[in-house]
Structure 1
Amino acid sequence: MSKITFPKISIVTPSYNQGNFIEETIQSVLNQNYPNLEYIIIDGGSTDNTIDIIKKYEENITYWISEKDNGQSDAINKGFLKATGVIYYWINSDDYLLPNTLIKIGSLNWPANVGAFIGIGHMVNLNKEIKYTPEFYDPITTEQLYNWTNNKDFMQPACFFSKAAWNNCGPLNTNLHFCMDVDLWIKISKRYELKRGEFNIAHAYIHENAKTTAEVEKMNLETYLMIASHGGFIIARKLLYDFFEREQRIFKLRLKEATTNSILNRVLKKISFKK
């Protein structure tokens, strides 16, 4: 009986001051016990306990560095410059892989026309309770990705992609701070098939410091403009119209509240509460 040879999987974790989460991320990767793993951590110069945690596991980490970078996209790009695998994946330092994920991915057939395999990811709270799971769409087309903010077909930590897809469609656009993953998926979808798999891949935490939680409007606007840059003008125009209409309503409401408060303050100043 011939021994199964698993393809090398290169995983990159970008990190910056995620000491509360990164140990679980690291453990979730190393505990896969995948026989052909390359694990790379690119830290942006953390000042919390992140480095101490990384050092605990450095014997099993292929490469890591901590130095100032130009953000998440830059860190991921640096990581893949070090990668030597045939399957690529990045997992942020506040996400974690589910058990046996890498064996499932490594056992798949990766024909040349498939640029990415996408499983199922879940958004969870800090108690690990599932709060959101994207709908399962198959196949995933470029047009669907243009409508990302409405469809949200899958989560970034649920997507593995080939080295060839990265070489032909990457690296990440370092001018993008929120939707660099969707930008990459769109590029890949124009040249390759995005294959779906009905199995769980990873969990992503919902917490107040997560970029997608704290700056959702900035993320949406950046995504709409990115979609337009790829040729999704009709969808982007509608999304931008809805965005600015919503922002206008919020502005008017805040202006009304500010005006009311200003008038109230002036009235209160004129009222004497002395007996």
Structure 2
Amino acid sequence: MTTTAPSDWQSWQTSWDRQQEWYMPDREERFRVMIDTVEAVTGPTPRVLDLACGTGSITDRLLRRLPGAHSTCVDIDPALLTIARGHFTGDERVTFTEADLTQANWTEHLPHASYDAVVTATALHWLDPQPLRHLYGDLAGLLREGGVFLNADHMRDESAPRLNAALHTLHSERQERQRRQGALDWADWWHMASDDPLLAEATAQRFALLGDPRRPKPDGGARQDRPTATRWHLETLLGQGFSEARQVWCSASDALVAALR
């Protein structure tokens, strides 16, 4: 597939959003519900930790909705952080931190000891159960009393397999049509990014650190023992120090869970 690379940071941010929406057409809806929940719990001027922030998609929407908010964006991906830093250049409400969430001391890299809200999307499914359980405990320790954690990710309700299959078929057929019309997938996007001189150094660092997504594994890199059930996340959050946890939004394949400290 022939593509033309974006020419500025806003265009890179937009191209990332479009690529992600090919996988998750209801992505904006879950962001809306996420920020609704942040505002409902914390008010209009929260201190927010954007966990595994990528290009800063959540922070971008957070600050447009709640201009009095401040966000700490943390990630380990050099390429996505380069786009995020470029996109938010000059915005004093946004701070960036590089950290590996699987390391025991990752919270020491943060500029603040506590936050009103922690938000994340389509990121934590890469973690195995035990590291994810530990991370949930870390987040309970970072949130102030009454603060909220929100995780939008691939979580399934397996109680209705025929409905799930029908919805999966519809989604797959829609994706195939969009691909024929030029939609980028994960590998396409990274090919485009690595070809842009703006991102050449950062993408090379990313490939060395995290692997080369231009050549995805046959199984997508997924591990069958990673948590996929919404119930697992809710029960684990309650077990790691949160006082309440519930699903606040879902699609056929994804869910948004909220937990109060």
TM class by shorter-chain length? 0.3 to 0.5
TM-score (norm. length: structure 2): 0.32
In our comparison, the structure showing a higher alpha carbon Rg is 1
TM-score (norm. length: structure 1): 0.31
